[in-house]
Every structure is written in C-alpha cells, then in structure tokens.
Structure 1
Amino acid sequence: MLVAEEYFVLIIGYVFGFYMAWNIGANDVANSMASAVGAKAITIRQAIFIAGILNILGAVFIGSHVTDTIRKGIVSTEILTDPHMALIGALSALLASALWVSFATWKSLPVSTTHAIVGAMTGFGIMAGGFSAVNWGKLGGVVLSWVISPIFSLVIAFVMFKAIVRLILSRKAAFDCGMRLSPVFIGMACFVVVLSFLFKTPLGTTLALSDTTALLWALALAVGLGFLGKWLLGRLLWGQVEDGVEEIFRRIQIGTSCYVALAQGANDVANAIGPLAVIYFLVKTGGVAAEVPVPLFLLFFGGIGIACGIGMAGHRVMDTLGNKITTLTNTRGFSVDFAAATTVLAASKMGLPVSTTHAAVGGVLGVGLAHGFEAVNFTIVFQIMIYWVLTVPASALTSMVIFKILEFII
C-alpha cells in the first residue's frame, strides 16, 4: 500500500472512530444520567456537562491501554492473518455499529453499543471467513443478556425501592429515619462502586487484587464513606423536613450517576477506539497481533468524541429513559442506579453476559412496577425491546454491505 493510501485509510478510520464515539455518548449517556435527570436531581444541562467531563476522565485515566483485536472474541482470530482483510473489517465494523446506534438515537431509544459492535464484527466474520468463523456460543450469550440484565436489575430495583418505602417513606418521622439509615444506603452504594472499579475497569485489572482483598477494601471504604456521608448530609440538610427524604437520596443519586459516567468512559471507549487502534496499528506496522497497544492520544480522542455526542444529542435517549417509561423521584432514581450497578457487577463476576443499557432499563421498569402495572408505559418498553433484538442482526447486515463496498474501493 502506498504512503498516501495508508494515510487516507487512517483518516477514514479516525472519522469512523469519532463517529462511533459520538454515538456512544449520544445513546449511552442515558445509562448514567437519565434517572438523575428524570428525578430532577440535576438539570439536563448539568447532566451533559458532568457526564462529558467524567467520560473523558474515565477514558483517559481508567481506560485500557491495550485492546483485544477482536472485541468480545466473537470471530476467529484466524481471519486476521490477512492485514488487508483485517483493515477492511475494522472499518466496516466501526461504521456499521455507529450507523445503527445513530438510528436508535434518532428514534430516542436506548440500545447497547457493545452489542452493536458484536453484531458488526459478526457480519465482518461471515464475509471474511464464512459462518464457521463466528463464535456462535458467544453470540448466544449476547441473546441471553437481553433477558438476564433487565430481569436482574428489575428485581433489585423493585426490592430496593420497596425497602426504602417500608423503612423510611411510610414512617411518620420519615426524614429522621432517612438520616439515621443514610449510612446504610450510602455504604451500600459505595460498596458496589468500589468493587465495580476493582473488578470491572482496566484500572482494577492493573491492580490485580484478589477477591478477598477487594471485598475487604470495599467494605472498609463503604463503612467510612457511609458515616462521612451522613455527617455531610447533616450539615447540608440541617432543619429541612419537607421533602427531606428525597433530598437525602438526591445527594446520594448524584454520586452514583457520576460513578456510572466515569465507568462508562473507561469501559465503553473501547467500542470505538478498539477497532480504530487496530487500524492505526495495521497502517503503522503492516501487521496485527491478538492484542493491540492503544496510545493515550487515541483514548483522549475517544473521550472527546463521547463528550461531543453527550452534548449534541444525549438529551434524546435521556428523556426516554428518565421520563417516558415511568415517573421517577430521587428515591426511585437511587434504586435504579443501585440496581443497574449491582447487576453489571454481579452478573459479570458470575460470568454471565450483561449490558449496562439493559440493566438501566430494567431498573426503571422495576421501580415503575413497584407502583403497579399502570405506572409503566409498556408501549415504550416494547419499542425498546424490539430495538434490542434488532441490534445484532441490523449491525451484522450493515457491516456485510459496507465490507463489500470497502473491499471494492480499498
């Protein structure tokens, strides 16, 4: 390949990679901020600003500096022996997944960007090596996540909100009960957050703590932060009784939403930058390995792309998840965030397929059902589920078409 052609391909890779990162921000920001916005804990402008900054920080400082050549092991690495084929595959996977997520965002519906990449890689695998090149067992796991993630989260959110009602909201001195129990709820949230950082992020992989050590650290920090949180709440909410319980959980919910945004930048940036790193590596070296180093500037590039997507179109899916499925309050919003984070942590630790998007939707559905079936807009829920099912085949078919076009052009 000539030098001019190499740089042309690299520029196309940057464009496709940025477009995918933009779509991650536009669609997945709802996972972290929709419940907080829906519960009026923060405004949509504040959510966009906070999520944009935290996604960049998560991508740059916690995001992985090494990426798997084939995301999620969905296709055989044998099809990468031809660098030209790998290059076309990475480009087609990036554009195909980005187009589907963009379409879903235009329809204001939350979908899994990870599943979009999986579908696109499946399409590339079929075109490059036939059906035998696809790991259908892994794809079966993706299908399972359509059920596992939302049901886990639905149950946890339902139980958590019912517990808050029984222990706090139904009491005469609800605010006093809320303050007395605040270390428990803050501690529970901190416990899940700390464990999630130790188990679910590239930072945790680098630290490589044993399960027992991680549990002890998380427990110690949860206890300390729980009582520190109660002291801070006491100073912030001194003398406030009216809607005091909701104010307690409003403060906690802002913290949990910030965690999800930070983790999103750390984990989801790979969906855009992983294939781009493969393209960058191929153009620079002419070959590809099972794992590819990711330069810091590419992580920053991906983080900026995610932040731009949040700022320009993040409000669309946030509005659907935060307002159109059910009415959210701060106590309900906290239950949603806690359920989604716990589901992702527990399911992934058990080796079960999981999606943060699906967990977030399941959590919202759970707190809605806690008030009865009439409290849930099932029309929107069914629309969302249809798009979940369509994500993999739509991305795969689009990837196959783009692959043939790029094969002809490049």
Structure 2
Amino acid sequence: MENSLFIIGIVIFLALAFDFINGFHDTANAIATSISTRALKPRTAIIMAAFMNFFGAILFTGVAKTIGGSIADPATLDNGLEVVIATLLAAIIWNLLTWWLGIPSSSSHALIGALAGAVFIGAGSDHVKWSGFIDIVKALLLSPLIAFAIGYVVMTVLKWIFKNKSPHSVNKGFRFMQIITAALQSFTHGTNDAQKAMGIITFALVTSGNLDSLEVPLWVKIAAATSMALGTSIGGWKIIKTMGTKIFKIEPINGFAADFTGASVIFGATMLHLPVSTTHAITSAILGVGSAKRFSEVKWSLAGRIVITWFITIPISALLAMLIFKILF
C-alpha cells in the first residue's frame, strides 16, 4: 500500500511537472504575436497569460476525460502506474528538447504518442484503444489545416475592409484589440492543454483503484491549473522569438487575426472534448494570416522545419516511452 502511494506521488509530481513545462513551452505561442507587435510588454503579457490559463483550466474537464479513457481503459491495466510514469518522462524529455532548440512542437502530440507507446509496450497492443487513438490523431492533424484556412480567410476579409484606411490608424486600433485576443487565446489554451495533465492524473488514480470513474477531482483541477499558471509565468522566450518574429513580419492587424483564429479553433475543440495541439493551431493560424498578407514574405523554410517536428513528435515520443518503460520496469 505504501509503495503504491509512493508511486502515485511520483506520477502526480511528473504530471504537474509536465503541466509546468507545458506552461512555458506552449503558452509562449499564445502571447508571441502580442509581444512582437508591442501590444503588450513581455512581463504584462506573461502575467495576463498565467491568470487566463488558470481560469481556463479550472472551468473545463471534457478533454481530461478524453485523455483519461480514449487511448486505454485504466481499469484494465495491471501496471497502469508504470505506464503513466514512462508516458510522462517521455513527453517531458521531448518538450524540454524542443524548447531548448526553440522549435514550437506540440505537447499534445508528445503526450498522446508517449501514452500509446507506453500502453503498447507495457500492456500489449490489445490494451490500446486504436479507434480512440486514431480519432485523437485525426483531430490533431485536422486542426492545423482548419486554423490555416480560417486565418487566411480572416486576414483576407480584414485586408478588404481596411484597404482604404491609413495603415498607422489601423494598426493602432488593432494593437488594443490584440490585448483582448491574446487574453482569449491564453484562456482557451488553459481549457485544452491543462486538461491533459488532469486526464493523466485521473487515469493513474483509476488504474490504482483510488477512483472509480474518470471524473476529475477538484484538487486535481486546482493543482494542474496552478502548475500551468506557474509555468506560464516563467515564459518561453526562445519560442516567443520564433513565433513572433521569424515566420513573417507581424503587424497588429495580423496578430489580431492570428490570435482570434487560434483561440476559435482551440475553444471549438475544447467544446467537442477533443485534445488538440495549441501549438499547431496557433502556428498554422500565423502561417495562414501571413499567406493572406503576402505569400512571399512567409519564411517557408522555417515553416517546413516546424511541420516536420509536428509529424515526427508522435512516433518519437512513442518510441521514447517504450524505451523508458523497458529500462525502468
């Protein structure tokens, strides 16, 4: 019993560490454009994002239930805690590596891939809910395409509406609007990304017999939301630089269009209880907006590197989780 409680303690620590890292890894995406256009000062943007992430995380649990039960049934796993430990270690390692390199990769992809890999190697392929896994992967792959398309349309419409206006006055107005959309995007990030650690902790509590269902306890909500908010307060300057300045020269009207698009796609997924990559949604929104502004201005070589990272994250995380499971257990 004591040994089981100790392992659960390790799982909770790792899950909250994942959320903390997610906070400075992925939230950087949500505030990058508002910082690059000087709509918000960096410190102000980070503090605002931390609060909005917290509130978003507290208010929703649908994505947590999807994470907790769509890839595997925790009640049927004899070694579920070991599976979760391997999952979290793999996802944390990949997140830290891509953060260090300044590449906006997906924490969602890392966690989903790692969980599938850990269940596969730890319990066998029969315990992986392949239909649920495929549904999640579909959402992860479709969301950036949707974000790109919406971003392109939104920016095209804004260009047409304000084509006869002074660029200076337009950008002055949209610099204020960016504050609102940056806050909204941080809120939606909390509604989706913080749920993933909640789902993993709930998964561990069910598989250990400490919970009977995938209903997320209040203390898990508060712990995950607080961890993400604290991580957000650290900031992710390398990723902010990549997202805010290196893809194309972002002006306030572009930042507004990208933030509005990203927030819409993420919150839509949250309402459908689907875990999507906030990184993918926001990056694709920026690419769509940049394409509508001027296709030739987008640095497609950098965009290509980001897209490659998107596609390799799930298989690498799965293999990493398998390796960690074999080494530790």
CA offsets per residue over residues 331-384 of structure 1, 9 Å max, x none? Answer: 001111222233345677789985332121111112222243331112221111
What is the aligned partner in structure 2 of residue 109 from structure 1? Answer: 103
Is the counterpart of residue 340 in structure 1 residue 289 in structure 2?
Answer: no
What is the aligned partner in structure 2 of residue 128 from structure 1? Answer: 122
The 1:273/1:142 distance shift into structure 2, 3 A limit, reads closer
Whole-angstrom distance in 2 between the partners of 1:337 and 1:261: 9
Q: CA deviation at 1:121?
A: 1.4
Whole-angstrom distance in 2 between the partners of 1:23 and 1:12: 16
TM-score (norm 2): 0.88
Whole-angstrom distance in 2 between the partners of 1:148 and 1:315: 28
The 1:357/1:243 distance shift into structure 2, 3 A limit, reads same
Residue ranges of structure 1 left out of the alignment (5+ in a row)? 176-241
What is the aligned partner in structure 2 of residue 245 from structure 1? Answer: 170
What is the aligned partner in structure 2 of residue 193 from structure 1? Answer: none
Moved more, 373-382 or 242-251: 242-251
Q: CA deviation at 1:13?
A: 1.8
Asked if the contact 2:90–2:321 (Cα under 8 Å) also holds between the matched residues in 1, the reply is: yes
Residue ranges of structure 2 left out of the alignment (5+ in a row)? none
What is the aligned partner in structure 1 of residue 224 from structure 2? Answer: 302
What is the aligned partner in structure 2 of residue 369 from structure 1? Answer: 291
Whole-angstrom distance in 1 between the partners of 2:107 and 2:241: 18
What is the aligned partner in structure 1 of residue 201 from structure 2? Answer: 276
Is the counterpart of residue 27 in structure 1 residue 22 in structure 2?
Answer: no
What is the aligned partner in structure 1 of residue 76 from structure 2? Answer: 81
Is the counterpart of residue 100 in structure 1 residue 100 in structure 2?
Answer: no
Asked if the contact 1:69–1:292 (Cα under 8 Å) also holds between the matched residues in 2, the reply is: no
What is the aligned partner in structure 1 of residue 324 from structure 2? Answer: 402
Whole-angstrom distance in 1 between the partners of 2:244 and 2:232: 15
What is the aligned partner in structure 2 of residue 16 from structure 1? Answer: 14
Matches within 5 A, 1:219-238: none
SS of 1:15 mapped into structure 2? helix
- Let me know the Cα RMSD of the aligned residues: 2.8
What is the aligned partner in structure 2 of residue 188 from structure 1? Answer: none
Asked if the contact 1:105–1:317 (Cα under 8 Å) also holds between the matched residues in 2, the reply is: yes
Whole-angstrom distance in 2 between the partners of 1:125 and 1:28: 25
Asked if the contact 1:369–1:376 (Cα under 8 Å) also holds between the matched residues in 2, the reply is: yes
Whole-angstrom distance in 1 between the partners of 2:276 and 2:317: 19
What is the aligned partner in structure 2 of residue 45 from structure 1? Answer: 43
The 1:85/1:113 distance shift into structure 2, 3 A limit, reads same
Amino acid paired to 1:134:
V
Amino acid paired to 1:252:
M
Q: CA deviation at 1:29?
A: 0.5
Matches within 5 A, 1:245-264: 245-264=170-189
Matches within 5 A, 1:184-195: none
TM-score (norm 1): 0.72
Whole-angstrom distance in 1 between the partners of 2:62 and 2:288: 36
The 1:72/1:356 distance shift into structure 2, 3 A limit, reads farther
What is the aligned partner in structure 2 of residue 68 from structure 1? Answer: 65
SS of 2:248 mapped into structure 1? coil
Whole-angstrom distance in 2 between the partners of 1:89 and 1:276: 12
Q: CA deviation at 1:287?
A: 5.3
The 1:391/1:344 distance shift into structure 2, 3 A limit, reads same
Amino acid paired to 1:68:
K
What is the aligned partner in structure 1 of residue 233 from structure 2? Answer: 311
What is the aligned partner in structure 1 of residue 145 from structure 2? Answer: 151
Asked if the contact 1:65–1:295 (Cα under 8 Å) also holds between the matched residues in 2, the reply is: no
Whole-angstrom distance in 2 between the partners of 1:69 and 1:402: 24
Whole-angstrom distance in 2 between the partners of 1:376 and 1:94: 35
The 1:9/1:129 distance shift into structure 2, 3 A limit, reads closer
The 1:145/1:59 distance shift into structure 2, 3 A limit, reads closer
Amino acid paired to 1:24:
N
Amino acid paired to 2:21:
N
Whole-angstrom distance in 2 between the partners of 1:71 and 1:110: 25
Aligned length: 329
Larger-gyration structure (1/2): 1
% same residue: 30
Q: CA deviation at 1:270?
A: 1.9
What is the aligned partner in structure 1 of residue 54 from structure 2? Answer: 56
SS of 1:361 mapped into structure 2? helix
The 1:8/1:72 distance shift into structure 2, 3 A limit, reads closer
SS of 1:251 mapped into structure 2? helix
